[in-house]
Amino acid sequence: MARPRALETVSRDALDAVLVILGPRLGDRLTTAMPVRDQHGRDASYLPAAPPDAVAYPRDADEVVFIVTTCHAHGVPVIPFGTGTSCEGHVAALRGGICLDMSQMDAVGQVSSADRTCRVEPGVTRKTLNAFLRDSGLFFPVDPGADASIGGMISTRASGTNAVRYGTMADHVVSLDVVLADGTLVRTSSLARKSAAGYNLTQLMVGAEGTLGVIVAATVRLHPIPEAVETALIAFPSSALAIECAIAIMGSGIPVARMEYLDDVQIRAVERYSKLGLSDGDTLIVECSGDPDSVARQMTWITEIASDFAPRNITTAQSPEDRSRIWKARHDAWWAAIALRPGAKGIPTDSCVPVSRLAEAVAAARKDCAELGVTAPICSHVGDGNFHLCVVFDPENDAEARRVDTLLERLSRRAIALGGTITGEHGIGYGKRAYLVEEHGLAGLQAMAAIKRALDPRNIMNPGKILEPGDALPFE
């Protein structure tokens, strides 16, 4: 199992000095209580937790500036925290320091229907934002599954089921307000729809995992709520046929809204867990949205295309209730996988390859699981080549843990070999640092390290994640 690289922890004198300065201003919004620290040192991953020395709850950008400036002066690490749903150890305080829980910065600001934008604070969750937008006729489409915070979704470059049509978090950030490592507050861009003015600071911060600054506000893109939606559930006799069908649908030019793949192991797990009456087999969930006539035409084309790939069963649904039942199969995938082995732990890992290589990648992953004797149902955002293994294992069983290590190593290295990436949406954290140089090369990693050194010369911003500024390689 991956372990954090040993990093020098902050000195007790420096930490005490910071706490003395922060305490009078923050009051009971600064705590060193161990249960709170433990909660903020772990995320949804299997990786070992590392609690911070204290947790602060800022209420506005000025307080974040005050906290970060103080920490910078004393060399104390700062670890931003959203909802703790990240998957690669992003929030572990590997050097100790101050965790900034952004949950109290949760205001939704001005909505511009003309620009289709909304300004939010980082602690706003995606479900809260969409509930706020309900009467505006607009919605925020990025859906990573968990009710993550917008700040966390930006920091991890989140994606999800809607990405095939609407894109990822990187496509939905117009501008950011960011507090840099020395306490400087920067606005990364204007609100214009396009710009050629200088470096793209906005996209530099998207996916930076809190290693370059703390996001304190964001202007995000919105989309019109579609008038009609229809969903199809299509079961196939093999993973190859299901994925080939998905590629054919994408190649036809049909603007599908969502397209997900669940392998036969995952389908059986979901049926056992949720009892939805699903047909056996590798399964596609395909959804179209728009005006009623275009949705009807698109769904007709999809079922016609699917009929060329020997489907076992095709079910379509239009009502919200029927569509929710179909999507429950996807939303319950993680819990269904864990339920296969009561008491076991799970690893929600991901990789992403060109869509043309997805069938090959999935087949190889399934072969690895069989060879290694590892239980790992597969689900995939098949429209963009991103897939997940829900690895279920006993971390106390050393032999099994070693087999899981082998599986994860093969998964990452194969993705790179197929022209893909070690992570399509979960990010690096400290869990996947070992493979970053293989994907980007030494020159690419050195360029990233140069940016880190320039913006965070004291290495206080979420240290140990993605890379260390003095490293030629992510690990020795």
Contact 350, 411 (CB under 8 A): no
Cα angle 338, 341, 342; round to 5:
85
178 lies in the same domain as 270: no
Contact 119, 176 (CB under 8 A): no
In degrees and rounded to multiples of 5, residue 34 shows phi and psi of -60, -45
Contact 418, 359 (CB under 8 A): no
Q: What is the CATH number of the domain that holds 37?
A: 3.30.43.10
How far, in Å, CA of 415 to CA of 439, rounded?
9
Identify whether 458 is part of a domain: no
- At 304, list the tokens: 């016609």
Q: What is the CATH number of the domain that holds 142?
A: 3.30.465.10
Helix locations, 388-455, DSSP H:
398-417, 436-455
284 lies in the same domain as 136: no
How far, in Å, CA of 218 to CA of 287, rounded?
29
Torsion, CA 266, CA 329, CA 281, CA 300, rounded to 10: -150
The domain of 81 spans 12-103
Instruction: Using the Cα atoms of residue 56, residue 62, residue 68 and residue 72 in order, give the sign of their dihedral.
Output: negative
- How many domains does the chain divide into? 3
pLDDT of residue 6: 52
119 lies in the same domain as 183: yes
CB atoms near residue 289 (< 10 Å): 20
Contact 99, 81 (CB under 8 A): yes
Identify whether 231 is part of a domain: yes
158 lies in the same domain as 280: no
> Terminal CA-to-CA distance of the chain, rounded, Å?
17
CB atoms near residue 292 (< 10 Å): 13
Q: CA 314: distance to chain centroid? A: 30
Q: CA 66: distance to chain centroid? A: 29
Radius of gyration of the chain (CA): 23
Q: What is the CATH number of the domain that holds 289?
A: 3.40.462.10
Instruction: Using the Cα atoms of residue 298, residue 300, residue 301 and residue 307 in order, give the sign of their dihedral.
Output: positive
217 lies in the same domain as 263: no
112 lies in the same domain as 94: no
Helix 358-372 × helix 398-417 angle, to 10°: 160
Of 56, 71, 103, the last residue of a domain is 103
Give 258's strand partners.
287
- Reported as type and span, the H/E element at residue 467 is none
pLDDT of residue 434: 87
**DSSP character for 179?**
E
264 lies in the same domain as 133: no
304 lies in the same domain as 376: yes
How far, in Å, CA of 399 to CA of 390, rounded?
19
Identify whether 453 is part of a domain: no
Identify whether 444 is part of a domain: no
206 lies in the same domain as 230: no
How far, in Å, CA of 445 to CA of 432, rounded?
14
Identify whether 449 is part of a domain: no
In degrees and rounded to multiples of 5, residue 19 shows phi and psi of -65, -35
Identify whether 344 is part of a domain: yes
Tokens 């307000």 found at: 177
Give, for all 476 residues of the chain, the pLDDT tens digit.
Answer: 555 555 678 899 999 999 999 999 999 999 999 999 999 999 988 888 999 999 999 999 999 999 999 999 999 999 999 999 999 999 999 999 999 999 999 999 989 999 999 999 999 999 999 999 999 999 999 999 889 999 999 999 999 999 999 999 999 999 999 999 999 999 999 999 899 999 999 999 999 999 999 999 999 999 999 999 999 999 999 999 999 999 999 999 999 999 999 999 999 999 999 999 888 899 999 999 999 999 999 999 999 999 999 999 999 999 999 999 999 999 999 999 999 999 888 888 999 999 999 999 999 999 999 999 999 999 999 999 999 999 999 988 999 999 999 999 999 999 999 999 999 999 999 989 989 999 999 999 999 999 999 999 999 999 999 987 666 544 43
99 lies in the same domain as 111: no
- At 317, list the tokens: 């649904």
How far, in Å, CA of 375 to CA of 378, rounded?
10
Helix locations, 195-318, DSSP H:
201-205, 239-251, 264-274, 292-306
Identify whether 1 is part of a domain: no
Of 88, 103, 118, the last residue of a domain is 103
26 lies in the same domain as 62: yes
94 lies in the same domain as 218: no
Of 103, 130, 161, the last residue of a domain is 103
Cα angle 233, 239, 244; round to 5:
80
